Every structure is written in C-alpha cells, then in structure tokens.
Amino acid sequence: MKPNRTVTPYLFLVPAMAVFGFAVLFPVIMTFAYSFTEWNGYGAMVFVGIDNYVKAAQDVLFRDSFVHVLIYIAITIVLEVVVGLVLAGLVSVRRRGSLWFRVAIFTPVMLPMVVVAVLWAFVYNNDFGLLNAALQTLGLEDLQRVWLGDTSTALIAVSVVSGWVYAGFYMTIFYAAFNQVPTEVIEAARLDGAGEWQLFRRIKVPMIRNAITVALLLCITGGFQGFDLFYVMTNGGPYGATEIPTTYLVKSVFTFQNVGYGSAMAVVLTVVVVGLGLIFTRVNREKPEEVRS
C-alpha cells in the first residue's frame, strides 16, 4: 500500500522505536561501553581497555557461577524438558478428560517466581518444612537435611523448584505438538502392532523434533538468565554454592559498585545467550529437510 505521505510509515513506527531504543538499544550500547571502564556509578569513569575481561577470565567466582548455571541447566533439561515430554506423552495416550490434569500441572507457571521461591523455601525449611516432615513420616530421618543451607544439596534443591514450575510448561508445548501429528500415521503404526511406548518413542517424539529443539533452546537460554529463584531462595549461598552469573553480577554492580566489571560480565553472558540463540535458529532452519529425508 502506498502511504499518502512519505513520512507516514515512520510516524507509525516512531513511538515503538523510541521506547525500544531508549530503554533497550541505548542501554545495550552503554553497557558495552561501561565494560571497558572502571566506574562506581557516580564518580569519575576511567577507561581501562580490556582489563575487565581479563579479570573476568581469571575470576574463580565468575567461572564457578558458570559451572553452577551449567549444572542447573543440565538438571532442568531433565526435570523440565524430559519430564514435560513424558507427561505430554502420558496425556496424549488418551486425550479425553485430561484437562484437569493439564490444569494441575500447568498452574505453577502462572505464579510469580517470588511466590514460588518463598513457598518452596518453606517446603525445604528444616523446622517445619514439608520435605523433612515427609521423610520423618516415612521413617527416613537419616535423609533429612538443611536443604538450602547445605552446599551439597542447595543447587539441586533450587533446580528441583524450577522443574516443578516448568515441567507443566513444556508439557503444554509438547502436548500441542503431539496433537499436530497426523492421526493416520499413528493409526498405521498401531495396525502394524506398535504399542503405546513404541508409538511414543519411534513415531511421536521424532515427529515433534522441532518443538523439542525449541524447548531445549528455551530451557538453555532461559537457564543462563536465571535469577528470581536463586535470589530469593539462597542469593548465591551457602558459601557461593548457588552463585550464578546474574546473582554475581547484580552483587558486583549494586552491592560493590563495580559497574565496569559487572558490565563486562554482563557482556560475556549476553554473547553466550545471543550466540546460542543464533546457533539454534540456524539448526532449526535446517531441520525440516532432515525430517523429510
């Protein structure tokens, strides 16, 4: 369509681009610029070249925060994507009357993460928490723990909460994808004598490969950006056992006023997340041909 005036298309675009440029694009550039400086946020800004990046490469705490987030991502891939896939498989065996089940499993996705975090801090509470109480009822007192205060269990405990929330989310994505699988394909396999497990393993899962790739992308890039649960439940503790990049850089910038160093870490994290996103987009673009062949 031809605009009445050449300027018209821009007039429609300006408000959105102005807000986006002001609150996202400009700060992205400035964060990148800060990463080459030493600055406490209000005093004099000193240009230090790539010193912050060198420091980040040598910072054990920063490296550990990546190790922690990788462990977290590995656990959540199992607890969110794999469990979600299995739940979706279960539900898709018989679709009738499964709404109540999907509602029950999906509900946590609706809640603010802070609510989830406070609730689960109670579940893990060592005085009256649900988990220790359940172990006691089952006669398994030996397994009782200060779940969030023990360096060997804190990271896993937080990851489990993430699984509790997002398993239902991925189940929903996969359930929708399963419903797209043509019924003829399933009926044909069934006539050939395939059981439900074989149907799931050999037909349904391969046919929703794209959805699984997208889910993995979401789980991994989302994992790198994790913050809410960790901040509320442990804030990096005990003894840094659950320190992840974002809790660490928030501390560096807002507690210790190392704006320059924090920005450098933020840039590193951004490169990882955007890089993974670009790789996955490319892989997913190639996928359709592979499936056909």
Partner 1 sequence: MSIDASNKQFDSARTHTAKHHAGRRTPLRIADVLFTAALIVIAVVFFFPMLWMVFSSFKTNSAIFATPFALPTEIDFGRWVEAFEVGHIGQYALNSVIVTGASVLAILLLGAAAAFSFSRYRFRGRNLFMGLLALGLLLPLQSYFIAQSTMFTQLAITDTRWALIIPYTAMGLPLAVYLLKVYLDAVPDELFEAARIDGASDLRIFGSIALPLLRPGLATVAIFSALSSWNEFLLALLYIQDDALKTIPTGLLAFSSRYVTDYGLLFSALSIVTLPMIVIYIVFNKQIVEGITAGSVK
Segment 133 to 172, residues that bind partner 1, using CB under 8 A: 133-134, 137, 164, 167-169, 172
- Kindly state whether residue 66 participates in binding partner 1, applying the rule CB under 8 A: no
197 is a site residue for partner 1 (CB under 8 A):
yes
Whichever of 75 and 161 has its CB closer to partner 1, that residue is 161
How near is the Cβ of 191 to partner 1 at its closest, in Å? Answer: 7
242 contact partners, CB below 8 Å, separation of at least 6: 68, 154, 155, 158, 230, 233, 234, 236
In whole angstroms, the minimum distance from the beta carbon of 232 to partner 1 comes to 6
Helix or strand (DSSP H, E) at 283: helix 259-292
Residues contacting 181, CB < 8 A, separation 6+: 203, 204, 207, 208
Tell me which residues in 170-189 interact with partner 1 (CB under 8 A).
Answer: 172-173, 176, 187
Q: Which of 130, 188, 279, 283 binds partner 1 (CB under 8 A)?
A: 130
What phi and psi, each to the nearest 5 degrees, are found at residue 72? -55, -45
Binders of partner 1 among 203-232, rule CB under 8 A?
211, 214, 218, 221, 224-225, 227-228, 231-232
Among 50, 179, 235, 277, binds partner 1 (CB under 8 A): 277
Residue with smaller CB distance to partner 1, 95 or 151: 95
Residue range at the interface with partner 1 (CB under 8 A); choices 6-14, 46-54, 74-82, 149-157: 6-14
Give least dist CB 184 to partner 1, A.
12
- Per CB under 8 A, which region of 61-69, 71-79, 108-116, 149-157 contacts partner 1? 108-116
Residue spans of alpha helices (H) in 21-124: 26-34, 51-58, 60-76, 83-93, 99-110, 113-123
Task: Tell me: does residue 119 bind partner 1 (CB under 8 A).
Answer: yes
Any contact of residue 110 with partner 1 (CB under 8 A)?
A: yes
Q: How many CB atoms lie within 10 A of CB 128?
A: 8
Given 46, 74, 114, 283, the residue binding partner 1 (CB under 8 A): 114
Return the H-helix or E-strand segment holding 183. Answer: helix 183-191
Instruction: Sort 247 into a burial class: Cβ within 10 Å, 0-12 / 13-18 / 19+.
Output: buried
Asked if 267 interacts with partner 1 (CB under 8 A), we say yes
Question: What phi and psi values does residue 42 have, to the nearest 5 degrees?
Answer: -145, -30
C-alpha triplet 221, 225, 231: angle, nearest 5°: 150
Mention every residue, 6+ apart, whose C-beta is less than 8 A from residue 214: 173, 280, 284
- Contact between 98 and partner 1 per CB under 8 A: yes
The residue assigned the tokens 């993974």 is 276
Query: Count residues contacting partner 1 (CB under 8 A)?
Result: 106
Closer Cβ to partner 1, 27 or 151, answer by number: 27
Taking the least distance from each CB to partner 1, the nearer of 183 and 293 is: 183
CB of 250 to partner 1, least distance (A): 8
Indicate which single residue of 38, 198, 237, 240 sits in contact with partner 1 (rule: CB under 8 A). 198
Q: Torsion-angle region of residue 139: left (phi > 0), alpha (psi -120 to 50) or beta? A: left
